[in-house]
Amino acid sequence: MSAAKRLRLPSAPWTRAYEAASARWAALPGWARWVGYALILVAALALPSIPGLGDIMAPGSSWERILFYPIAIYVLLALGLNVVVGYAGLLDLGFVAFFAIGAYTNAILGGTYGWGFWTVLPIGIALAMLAGLLLGSPTLRLRGDYLAIVTLGFGEIIRVTANNTEFLGGPRGINQIPRPPSVEGVDALTFSITDSKPYYYLAVAFITVFIVILKRLERSRVGRSWTALREDEDAAELMGVPTLKFKLWAFTVGAAVGGATGVLYASFQTAIRPTDFTFIVSATILAAVVLGGAGHIPGVILGAFLVAWLPELARDLNKYRVLAFGAALVLLMIFRPQGLWPSRLREAELKEGEGGIGRLGGEVGAVVTQEGL
Amino acid sequence: MSNFVNQFWASTIDGLTQGAIYALVALGYTLVYGVLRLINFAHSEIFMIGTFATVGVISAAGITSPLAGVGLLLFVLGAGAVAAVVSGGSAVVLERVAYRPLRRRGATQLAALISAIGASLFLQQAVSIWVTSDARTTERVMEKVNLLTIGTGDLRADKLLVFVGAMAMMILLDRLVSGTRFGRAIRATAQNADTATLMGVNIDRVIMITFLIGGAMAGVGGMLYVIFFEVTNFTVGFVLGIKAFTSAVLGGIGNLRGALLGGLLLGLIEEYGASVVGAQWKDVIAFSVLVAVLMFRPTGLLGEALGKARA
């Protein structure tokens, strides 16, 4: 916190207004903040039912449907990747692998063997965490940029393996994955092909649970260690933070969220194929996290919402979607590397040129600044 | 296992051909890494642009039947030059747009990598939208006659051309880096950028030339790829780029001769592996090699260091 105080941030009018608002929010008594959270939750649950909103937000497509997929699914995935990229500062380019593991767990256990959603869910989470642990324990010792490429390779290995394995359905994938069990007589919890609302409510429940868990983690010893190793890995190690252990924590927690999202996604689509899990998905999740503000949950949710929703708004421009993501990533890194809605700590770190994996060509950058002389 | 023995010579020839292309692309990763300590993630798209430049030359030249002799030689030189210029130019633009502003602002490596991914997506989609989103096949440029049969393997003329062409480029680059003034500036920057500046080296220009040379090599790699496979598409760079990066790491990133060794080795490992477990697992084999190298010998076989690459 002191880093943020010591450093005077640029104070444009909107920045000052935002800072005043967030200070007031932080000064509110606990119960008032809980009321605020409850109101946000109610608003989120009401989103698919507000009359007329769908016509504005999703002209020409089903608002209820896109609220679940892609919006809620990408919010969940971005929350998971945020642990790895935002909290621990590790660049993971193969996050889609954990999503795929969750989805395929549901496809095999649910689709082939007929297990129920709530039985498969913990298994999917556990398998994704195991994969995170297996991938992480040898590779997390690597330098940050190497880690990025290895995780990218891992994502491709998972996809190619699914494509080549008959047991996993090969290129055709797996069909007839069961939907979550419905609650008799309650429309909001009756899962069917015609109504996406129940899925959306379920996704909001997932998001709420994960936010609570991640928020607790963020403020725990684990979260402080993540901040420490993100800001300066060597210093953290010297201070006695077992950095490898906490990197593994970040990887596994992120993988758990990805796996849970995969299980949920598969039960909605009821059919999955290897082509659902390409590198573009990983890149899109990363774009969401970075656009919103890595390390800041409200920012990440905003980023995921924008990344998932904007292409739906302009469906005929859909072929320009990835093109725009690419350009946006470059522009963001140049003009606003902290994202649209960053946490104050992260913003301060970036101003100091920390909070990543060392500076890019540090010596070279220093030379260039002398150009004005 | 018997497949491995039966196909040994065929695999060796194919592995060296593939590996030569990996090595050419790997040079770009290694050069940029040596100078900037940055994985130029968008390098794979520079290669992809090179393949499309070659396709453009083939249709612009109106080639409808396979060439031979002087005609073929002229085509290879001409198309190679065009592909090298187009790819090299794209690499320079890429550096200007996606990396230089970040260097100016002292951005983190993470930011540079994300910017590179963005540039990579942008270039891929730009080709997909404005050129073609389908696979683009080309006319056959040369007869694929068999020159020599070694065991079970046929040494075809096009494979020999790919291998010889790649080696020639490699030798040219090695001379350039170890023997010229620019080469010395590149090595000096790789060793210590601050000192190099004090000695009067213009770092910005060195970086630009590094991207130019790396891009030109990828362009020539793209031309050889098109002659060999006679097809390309806008995602052709993605997997090939990872494999070329693997080659660079395998040989020791930042090390030019390492890139050559790594490329050829990776090509061979892939082909030998494919003959044992099946061709559909090729990509998995290559990625596993990458993970294994990074785990057990992250400095690569010949060690990192562009600065030490001298004749």
**Per-residue pLDDT averaged across A338-349, rounded?**
81
pLDDT of amino acid B305:
63
Contact B41, B113 (CB under 8 A): yes
The gap between the terminal CA atoms of chain B, to the nearest Å, is 41
pLDDT tens digits, B28-43: 999 998 888 888 989 9
Q: How far is A31 from chain B (nearest CA, A)?
A: 39
> Rounded to 5 degrees, what angle do the CA atoms B37, A336, A68 make?
105
pLDDT of amino acid A6:
44
Residue B247 near chain A (CB below 8 Å): no
Determine what percent of chain A is predicted with pLDDT higher than 70: 90
Q: Is A63 helix (H, G, I), strand (E, B) or coil?
A: helix
Cβ contact, residue pair B118, A360, below 8 Å: no
Residue B244 near chain A (CB below 8 Å): no
Using a CB-CB cut-off of 8 Å, the residues of chain A touching B102 are 333-334, 360
Q: How far is B95 from chain A (nearest CA, A)?
A: 12
pLDDT tens digits, B43-80: 999 999 999 999 999 999 888 888 888 999 999 999 99
pLDDT tens digits, A32-90: 889 999 999 999 999 998 888 888 888 878 898 899 999 999 999 999 999 999 999 89
Give the integer Cα–Cα distance in Å for B306 and B173. Answer: 13
Q: Is B162 helix (H, G, I), strand (E, B) or coil?
A: helix
Determine what percent of chain B is predicted with pLDDT higher than 70: 97
Give the integer Cα–Cα distance in Å for A149 and B246. Answer: 9
Cβ contact, residue pair A149, B123, below 8 Å: no
Cβ contact, residue pair B118, A323, below 8 Å: no
| Among A91, A164, A279, beta carbon nearest to B238 | A279
pLDDT of amino acid A18:
82
> Rounded to 5 degrees, what angle do the CA atoms A54, A57, A60 make?
70
Most confident of A129-133, B97-101, B287-291: A129-133
The gap between the terminal CA atoms of chain A, to the nearest Å, is 36
pLDDT of amino acid A99:
97
pLDDT tens digits, A298-339: 999 999 999 898 887 766 777 787 888 889 889 988 888 888
Using a CB-CB cut-off of 8 Å, the residues of chain B touching A145 are 38-39, 109, 113
Please state which CATH class domain A62-360 belongs to. mainly alpha
pTM of the model: 0.87
Residue B39 near chain A (CB below 8 Å): yes
Q: What is the ipTM of this complex?
A: 0.87
Cβ contact, residue pair A322, B120, below 8 Å: no
Cβ contact, residue pair A142, B294, below 8 Å: yes
DSSP H stretches of helix in chain B: 2-6, 8-36, 43-60, 69-94, 100-104, 109-130, 157-179, 181-191, 193-198, 203-229, 236-251, 256-277, 282-296
pLDDT of amino acid A234:
87
Residue B94 near chain A (CB below 8 Å): no
Cβ contact, residue pair B117, A164, below 8 Å: no
- C-alpha distance from residue B81 to each of A206, B77, B95, B169, B222 (Å): 56, 6, 21, 12, 11
Residue B36 near chain A (CB below 8 Å): yes
pLDDT tens digits, B279-295: 889 989 988 888 888 87
Dmax of chain A from CA atoms?
Answer: 76
Residue B120 near chain A (CB below 8 Å): yes
Sign for the pseudo-dihedral over CA of A353, A359, A363, A369: negative
Q: How far is B183 from chain A (nearest CA, A)?
A: 18
**Per-residue pLDDT averaged across A286-301, rounded?**
91
Give the integer Cα–Cα distance in Å for A341 and A159. Answer: 33
Using a CB-CB cut-off of 8 Å, the residues of chain A touching B105 are 334, 365
Give the integer Cα–Cα distance in Å for A325 and B132. Answer: 20
pLDDT of amino acid B171:
93
Cβ contact, residue pair B106, A283, below 8 Å: no
Mean of pLDDT over chain A: 85
Using a CB-CB cut-off of 8 Å, the residues of chain B touching A290 are 114
Contact B22, B244 (CB under 8 A): yes
Q: A200, A189, A198, A250: which is closest to A220 by C-alpha?
A: A250
Residue of B38, B102, B114 to mutate when probing chain A, most A C-beta within 10 A: B114
Beta bridge partners of B170: none
Kindly indicate the confidence band of residue B300, based on its pLDDT and cuts at 50, 70 and 90.
confident
Size of interface A-B (CB pairs under 8 A): 183
Residue B38 near chain A (CB below 8 Å): yes
Residue A367 pLDDT greater than 70, yes or no: no
Kindly indicate the confidence band of residue A362, based on its pLDDT and cuts at 50, 70 and 90.
very low
Give the integer Cα–Cα distance in Å for B35 and A218. Answer: 37
| Among A150, A160, A327, beta carbon nearest to B294 | A150
pLDDT of amino acid B111:
81
Give the integer Cα–Cα distance in Å for A343 and A333. Answer: 16
Residue of A84, A92, A139, A145 to mutate when probing chain B, most B C-beta within 10 A: A145
Q: What is the DSSP string of A236-257?
A: HHHTT--HHHHHHHHHHHHHHH
Q: How far is B157 from chain A (nearest CA, A)?
A: 32
Beta bridge partners of A174: A272
pLDDT of amino acid B210:
94
Q: A176, A166, A163: which is closest to A274 by C-alpha?
A: A163
More confident residue, A124 or A185: A124
Mean of pLDDT over chain B: 90
Q: Is A185 helix (H, G, I), strand (E, B) or coil?
A: coil
Phi and psi torsions of B187, nearest 5°: -65, -40
Give the integer Cα–Cα distance in Å for A125 and A112. Answer: 19
**Per-residue pLDDT averaged across A197-211, rounded?**
95
Q: For residue B278, what is the nearest residue in chain A, using CA coordinates?
A: A164
Q: For residue A155, what is the nearest residue in chain B, using CA coordinates?
A: B287
Residue A353 pLDDT greater than 60, yes or no: no
Contact A106, A124 (CB under 8 A): yes
Amino acid at site A175: N
From the CB of residue A156, how many other CB atoms can be counted at a distance below 10 Å?
Answer: 25
Using a CB-CB cut-off of 8 Å, the residues of chain B touching A359 are 106-109
pLDDT of amino acid B14:
93
**Weakest-pLDDT range from A119-133, A247-261, A314-328:** A314-328
A235 CB-side CA count, 13 A: 12
pLDDT of amino acid A105:
96
Q: Using CA atoms in the order A255, A261, A262, A266, what is the torsion angle rounded to 10 degrees?
A: 170
Cβ contact, residue pair B102, A360, below 8 Å: yes
pLDDT tens digits, B146-184: 888 888 888 899 999 999 999 999 999 999 998 899 899
Q: Is B149 helix (H, G, I), strand (E, B) or coil?
A: strand
Cβ contact, residue pair B118, A149, below 8 Å: no
pLDDT of amino acid A128:
97
**Per-residue pLDDT averaged across A135-146, rounded?**
81
Q: Is A148 helix (H, G, I), strand (E, B) or coil?
A: helix
More confident residue, B197 or B17: B17
Q: B residues 122-151 near A, CB within 8 Å?
A: 122-126, 128-129
- C-alpha distance from residue B247 to each of A288, B27, B124, B295 (Å): 31, 9, 22, 15
**Per-residue pLDDT averaged across B91-114, rounded?**
87
Q: For residue B297, what is the nearest residue in chain A, using CA coordinates?
A: A142
Kindly indicate the confidence band of residue A363, based on its pLDDT and cuts at 50, 70 and 90.
very low
Beta bridge partners of B148: B155
Residue B21 pLDDT greater than 90, yes or no: yes
Using a CB-CB cut-off of 8 Å, the residues of chain B touching A163 are 280
